[in-house]
């Protein structure tokens, strides 16, 4: 089974749902994440951990404004981390060993509801607290 086939099923279901949870963890999926996944506007939980996903992280996923949990660890993505500005409801972010490179985008400071973040094999809760303090002191 490919992620594309699963994605079509999810899109059909999402159109009928008011909220949606998608756990596709440890399914040996390979290839790129379809950009169509960004059309699942009611998606609140997306877990793609422990697959063999490659390519750039689809920018269309930043359209998932209701997303509260995003888990993409243990994959082989390329490119930089996505911008976080569209994920205002995000509370939990797990990206360790995802393959994404580069600095954490500054848009992370706009995630007021973020509680936990795993990026580089470290829990960055302390970092987030310090970042929020810094942002508050600048405003």
Domains of the chain with CATH codes? 3-138 (3.80.10.10)
Top pLDDT among 6 and 61 is at 61
**Cβ(43)–Cβ(22) below 8 Å:** yes
Contacts of 125 (CB under 8 A, 6+ apart): 115, 116, 117
Q: List 124's β-bridge partners, or say none.
A: none
Question: Which 8-state DSSP code applies to residue 134?
Answer: H
pLDDT category of residue 87 using cuts at 50, 70 and 90: very high
pLDDT category of residue 29 using cuts at 50, 70 and 90: confident
Residue found under tokens 């954490």 = 104
């Amino acid at each position: 089974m490919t992620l594309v086939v699963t994605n079509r099923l999810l899109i059909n279901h999402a159109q009928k749902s008011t909220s949606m949870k998608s756990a596709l963890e440890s399914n040996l999926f390979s290839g790129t994440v379809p950009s169509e996944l960004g059309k699942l506007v009611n998606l609140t939980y997306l877990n793609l951990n422990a697959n063999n996903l490659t390519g750039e992280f689809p920018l269309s996923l930043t359209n998932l404004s209701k997303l509260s949990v995003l888990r993409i660890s243990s994959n082989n993505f390329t490119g930089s981390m996505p911008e976080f500005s569209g994920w205002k409801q995000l509370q939990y972010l797990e990206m360790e060993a995802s393959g994404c490179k580069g600095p954490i985008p500054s848009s992370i400071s706009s995630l007021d509801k973020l509680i936990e973040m795993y990026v580089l094999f470290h829990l960055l809760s302390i970092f987030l607290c310090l970042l929020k303090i810094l942002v508050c002191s600048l405003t």
